[in-house]
Amino acid sequence: MSNSNYSQISELLHQETYLGNGELKTWNGKKDEVHSTISSTSEYSKTLLGTVPHMDEATALEVLDHACKAFDKGKGTWPTAKVSFRIKCMEKFVEQMKTKREEVVKLLMWEIGKSLPDSEKEFDRTVEYIYDTIEDYKQLDRNSAKFSKRDNVNAHIRRGPLGVVLCLGPYNYPLNETFALLIPAVIMGNTVIFKPAKHGVLLLSPLLEAFRNSFPPGVVNVIYGRGREVAAPIMKDGRIDVLALIGNSKSAIALQDQHPHKNRLRLVLGLEAKNPAIILPDADLDLAIAECISGTLSFNGQRCTALKIIHVHEDIREEFNKRFAQKVDELKFGNPWEEKVQLTPLPEPDKPQYIQELITDAKEKGAEILNAKGGQVSENYIFPAVLYPVSKDMRVYQEEQFGPVIPIKPFNSIEELLDEIADSNYGQQVSLFGKDIEQIAPLIDTLVNLVCRVNLNSSCQRGPDVFPFTGRKDSAVGTLSVHDALRSFSIRTFVASKDNPYNNDILQKLLASKESNFVNTDYIL
């Protein structure tokens, strides 16, 4: 393991039949991690999808050395590379990635149970994200060199990289959200160590070769293994400049705490949320029900942006609840590759039991299951239960369920409901259903101060990916999206100079080159 790690891993993985019955292999003295399908049928459930190297601490630190060497404290070839070179690398990567669509889509279905259309969408959306990022980066690094001047001092501004980034991605978007961190971090000149989530760990394997072919050694590095054995030692080492994570705050805090210089560690975090839907008395119920179905149950509710509680006004709750519960029972459960499937097996083996615990707790405290199929359990699935009336003392009210269970809570007073939303530890998004402009306009004014995105008569979502994606309180640190992520992974730096012939000559030369890293920004001193 003396050279670029991903290249060696890549070779290993490409020897494997990861959709076949690969055997356990030894790698670096350790047994590989086995990953089996989460398919709902017993015929498939014992199939071994593939294996990845299970690294130890020494190997993880070796990977860190590669990333640090490539960055070389800002003096390395990647952080000082010309704009056009970074673009060329990224374009090469995305072109090669596109040839792997079928393999990656298959792995998304098999590894995390995402339906075929959603898996295809995740792949295509990611490709689009990379192209949009390249375009935005070109804009960011345009060489028109607008001058900022005050008190006879000129400022020539550029965006510089932050350093070595440790990225950890989630299991629910193992491709898209991995790349939502990795792509902007890399294009801005940082070097990256990426650790995929346990579920979805295999789907990067078809892309490792593309990383190797497209970027100089040490720029993109992939590590596998348990967090405490690979990510924690890397943090403890102290050379990581940015922790970028999409997942839960517990992991983020635990990793942050390992860093010996916590105060200088930058964070880019996409964390938990408990996005509420508010159904006002005059809401279009057909629309509200359809949006709440997709909002609560797309990918079985395993989305940070999922609607995780519905607040329905007392005046309409009877009709809403009845029709909503019926619609939930009409949803089709099946394997990800089956046609028109809407609910699929859960990748986390202990999830059905956890959801069952939430249901039991809610029932003990006075809620009922409104739908006939609610709570039916199979080996790796639990049919979504619609729970009503939910109260604050219930676990399903307090916890981010991240799975198929839907709490509904009645309300009478919008002021009290706003207090409740303001008291939440989370502040990502809200969905507001209603028509009365006189009531809705002031409500929006308040809600935008409690969360970061108000979805008017529609469910919550992250996309389109050019929109800012962030949250208040425990929901996020920093902002992602095509445009904002480039800024989250960089710092504004500039050259300040007073007018004199030498300075002006030097600066003219800097700016004249199409390859200059000096950029025009919207920042005026």
Ligand X SMILES: O=C[C@H](O)COP(=O)(O)O
Residues in contact with ligand X by the rule CB under 6 A: 172-173, 303-305, 461-463
Q: Is 360 helix (H, G, I), strand (E, B) or coil?
A: helix
CB of 128 to ligand X, least distance (A): 13
CB of 303 to ligand X, least distance (A): 4
Six-digit token pair at 233?
């030692």
Compare residues 159 and 462 and give the one whose CB is closer to ligand X. Answer: 462
Compare residues 67 and 346 and give the one whose CB is closer to ligand X. Answer: 346
CB of 480 to ligand X, least distance (A): 8
Compare residues 110 and 129 and give the one whose CB is closer to ligand X. Answer: 129
CB 245 within 8 A of CB 251: yes
d(CA 19, CA 105): 12
Instruction: Name the closest residue to ligand X (Cβ).
Output: 304
CB of 520 to ligand X, least distance (A): 31
Cis ω for the linkage preceding 389 (within 30 of 0): yes
d(CA 409, CA 388): 6
Which residue's structure tokens are 């809620």?
Answer: 367
CB of 135 to ligand X, least distance (A): 20
Six-digit token pair at 216?
């100089």
Element (H, E) at 138: helix 116-140
Nearest CA-CA partner of 133 in 378, 466, 435: 466
CB of 308 to ligand X, least distance (A): 11
CB of 463 to ligand X, least distance (A): 5
CB of 35 to ligand X, least distance (A): 21
Sequence-distant (≥ 6) Cβ neighbours of residue 325 within 8 angstroms: 370, 371, 374, 386
What HEC string does 201-239 produce? CHHHHHHHHHHHHHCCCCCEEECCCCHHHHHHHHHHHCC
User: How many alpha carbons fall within 13 Å on the CB side of residue 218?
Assistant: 20
Burial of 5 (0-12, 13-18, 19+ CB in 10 A): buried
CB of 461 to ligand X, least distance (A): 4
Q: What is the DSSP string of 444-473?
A: HHHHTTTSSEEEETS-----STTS-B--EE
Output 250-258 pairs: Cβ under 8 A, ≥24 positions apart: 251/168, 251/227, 254/227, 255/166, 255/168, 255/227, 255/231, 258/232
CB of 88 to ligand X, least distance (A): 29
CA distances from 401 to 202, 323, 347, 397 (A): 26, 23, 15, 9
